[in-house]
Structure 1
């Protein structure tokens, strides 16, 4: 009676859940979207778990009943792992201890006998695979002149350089020390002055006369003059361990170009308190 009640409850649950899932799949637009319809997923998971557990319980019960019947009738069941043992014996060609006398060699050393075992098939097949690989490798790289890893690397580097150059050509705001230009229009210099006063005047003073940093109005430069060198200094920073920090993570390339152009425009001006010259005299080529 108890098993009948359990079976009835199980059948009712399966049918109810099945029809509810079918209705949900028909009614909802995206029934498998967990965030929109989490109940559908809970019902689906519960449905699968109940069926799986039911089948597992049936399997274990059947297995236990079979074991009890075999024990009662004195039947010794076949080892379930016998097929694994047969496979291993075939794959390794191993002889059982009882059969080793048939492969004992005639000679012995100090009573130590040697067995004439054959090589395991897995070892033999692996050896054949290495021979095949060597032949393919020889034909591919020595006869047909296939690309070596070094050649593939050089090709990849060349392709990457082409992509970088193409990217530079199609990106207007990508300015480097090689492509930077000296800007002389009023709007660019006005923007450069504003950025300079905000970030650079604390070390170089607003008029460029120099304080902690060097004088930017004379002809002497520590890291070279000209718009390219000034831009490179903004990007990379000053000398190691001292000098200006790198501004590449703070300022946009276009703003650094305007600041460099504004700094160049300060050449020849007369600041109120000019700092003594530093570095070497720069002569524009």
Structure 2
């Protein structure tokens, strides 16, 4: 191996393999790890010095062993080193086959009659690598034409749209499990006990001083009634906690000190005060807030019930008329 690859090639290869492994296993930002962390740069410099030292030591040992040989052994060793290795011979043979040209000694067989000012032309065949590459492009062109222009396979624009849609679905699925990515558009009421307990701790730590432990209100508004200053429901409450209340006299914004998940937890917890009876409730502030989505659902249900009642009344009327006519 040492005779096959010179040290000036072997050392850089080993060094860059080690650099690649360091980059793979060490987390870094936009810059390489050795540029962000000076310790890693010192480590790589030490590795390079060790590799150079090993090459020097091994080279010295080879020289000592060579000097200890007799003349006949030195001659055999020199002849073996001078002879090309099997890899070099294989590479040269492969190159000649791909090139497809005749050796200089045999060029006389393919010289053409053209002669211009002593310059003669050789009748060399096309190199096999070029010829096979040309055939490959023809095959590729035929396959491409049949696939995309005959069978109308998805082109690059359709593939982009498909991959984009798949990526969007993957992002939405990831957001369902990554609660810290929640925002005002994706927040939902959390019902798990762990989330509500976490919300209770946040509320008792940060909110009790203004809203009281039972949500009855003090400096802050009452959380148990249906009156809201900036709107009720999980989305409005999440926004209020995150961005703060009214300018100059409302609650401070908590987005700087609470994570999105924590804001969703405390918002879900304080919504549980709705409909409860606090010890000293504060007078209502703001306006009555009605969940429009729930109202629409309720209206649809009422309309359905009215239609059903109308239908039943019509059936009963028809039955009464039929009985009367029979009588």
- TM-score of the superposition, structure 1-length normalised? 0.43
- TM-score of the superposition, structure 2-length normalised? 0.39
Q: Point out the structure with the larger helix share.
A: 2
